[in-house]
Amino acid sequence: MAAKRPVEIELKYLVLDEAAARRLLEEARVGPFEAGPAHLPEQVEDRYVDAPDGALGRAGFAARLRRGREGVLLTLKSRSGGGSALHRREEIEAPAALTLDPAGWPPSPARSVVLELCGDGPLAELVTIRQVRRTRQLRATGAVAELSLDDVEIVDGGRLAERFEELEVELREGDEQPLHELAELLATDPGLTPSTTSKLERALAAVGRAPVSAAPKGGRDQPDAPRTPGVAADDTLAEAGRKVLRFHFGRLGAREAGARSGRDEEDVHAMRVATRRMRAAWRVFGEAFRPRRTRRLRSRLRVLADRLGTVRDLDVLLANLEGHRAGLDPAEAAGLEPLAAAWREQRDAARRLLVRELDSDDYRQLVEDYRVFVGTEGAEARRPSVPTLPHRVRDTAPTRIWMAYERVRGYERVLPWADNETLHRLRIEAKRFRYTLEPFREVLGPEAAGLIERVVALQDHLGLLHDADVAAGLARAFLVEHGARLGAAETGAIGHYLRHEERESARLRRSLGPAWRALVGVRFRRALGRAVAAL
């Protein structure tokens, strides 16, 4: 996630000469810093943990449970190191407990990240690192840092695997320029050598384990990532909704880097789908939450969805146009370039607005708000006014599913005369019906999968019709606006493309019947009844 998090900036050195390192704990000045007195040694124990399938490592995080004087602290650090002594990593810290079940930790943004990436199951211990830390505070003009000398022991199954000393200087606040000046000074010290790896990476190497690689930038959903939100029939409506939002929030975050880079248009598509699913979850489950307290979560999500949607729609238009050009002779294909160039320019402008949104403080705050919300059981949930008020999935899902289906069937009487705008509204209702079925798939009868496939078939058919209609309309508008400046070959090529898309729209209208009848026929209704009866 690109959510705004504290960034740890520190210098790290392996100690070759213990006397040289200890001098830094005693001298009145350390480079540009004035040094305070050394604190008493502190013993700390770090247990590094991950999901059994390595989900945190793939997401680029290292998770540490530290037991020290002030209790147990959970620390998540991004696993971006460096090729020098200077390390810069995102860091989130929060109180925790020694249990490897994150559900037993106090709610916090850090716990939310763990739950989002690892699910509700227990974690596994990777390795234990024990340290004796000696620290002192450093101050320079406009900066505060902490120097620590760590006597480190790597423990695997009770066995001492390796021991070493490491010197760290972490910037606590202010300008990092004094840190760079100190790095230049320490680079000349023969008793120190830059540490270019983290303690966890060194520990895993010491015990003979390879670290789990982070997902590539623009990462994909992993093959072993949870495939469903995990909704149960006895869940309250609020907690079922939270599971669905958490599931799709995780997918949204997995595609953010790729959507930002623009290297693969599928990242924008997947991120847009995640926002759609989240907005659908609010429609299905929203009444289980306090509306005034969750309004910002819903409204800011709409802004993000709009930015993603504009880019995605233009990507689809361009892919459609390029597919058409591929079947033309070179001269006619070249005639479509003014239209393609105009759409590329619009797409690039839309991408700039999307990146601006992803870089905004509003977006970073939205991500943080969602982290806390989806990771905190009971947050903003309405309590039933009376115990008998239906509030569980098994009590309320059937009505929601049937009402969504009824809104689709309502088009039955007007379908023979429907214009494209009406068909587009039908597509929206079909999509909402699908998004109502999908969160409950795990608790419905075995018929649910086939039912969803039929809804998808109708939705896809109507989607292709809508895409052809939009492409024809935009091509027509381009000719009206720019026709006087186009050559005859260009006007002819764009006009041919316009007529092609109009014919495609008409063909899809004529062939809608089978997909529609598969959704409103008696066999579908009976199967839907059996699926819902499983609740």
Q: Hey, which residues does 162 pair with through a beta bridge?
A: 154
In order along its 535 residues, the chain shows pLDDT tens digits of 334 457 788 888 888 878 878 888 888 898 899 999 888 888 888 899 998 878 888 778 889 998 876 778 999 887 654 556 788 888 888 888 878 888 778 888 888 888 878 876 788 888 889 898 899 999 998 899 999 999 988 887 667 778 888 999 999 988 888 888 888 888 888 788 888 778 888 888 777 665 555 444 444 444 445 567 889 999 999 999 999 999 998 888 888 888 888 877 888 988 999 999 999 999 999 999 998 888 888 888 999 999 999 999 999 999 889 888 888 888 889 999 999 999 999 999 999 999 999 999 899 898 889 989 988 888 899 888 787 888 899 999 999 999 999 999 999 999 999 999 999 999 999 999 999 999 998 899 888 888 888 898 898 899 999 999 999 999 999 999 998 999 999 999 999 999 999 999 999 999 998 889 999 999 899 999 999 999 8
Is the fold of 7-206 the same as that of 242-383?
A: no
Q: Where are the domains of the chain?
A: 7-206, 242-383, 392-535
Q: Is 132 helix (H, G, I), strand (E, B) or coil?
A: strand
Residue 221 DSSP code? P
φ/ψ bin of 445: left (φ > 0), alpha (ψ from -120 to 50), beta (otherwise): beta
Torsion on CA atoms 465, 265, 115, 281, rounded to nearest 10: -20
- How far apart are the C-alpha atoms of 467 and 516, rounded to whole Å? 18
pTM (whole model) above 0.85: no
Instruction: For the domain made up of 7-206, give the CATH fold.
Output: Hypothetical Protein Pfu-838710-001 (2.40.320)
Tell me the torsion sign for CA atoms 27, 33, 35, 41: negative
Q: 392-535 in CATH: which number?
A: 1.40.20.10
| Cβ pair 443, 535 in contact under 8 A | yes
CA–CA dist 95, 67 (Å, integer): 10
As given in the structure block, the two tokens for residue 99 are 């249990």
CA-CA distance, 291 to 380, in Å (whole number)?
9
Instruction: Specify the fold of 242-383.
Output: CHAD domain (1.40.20)
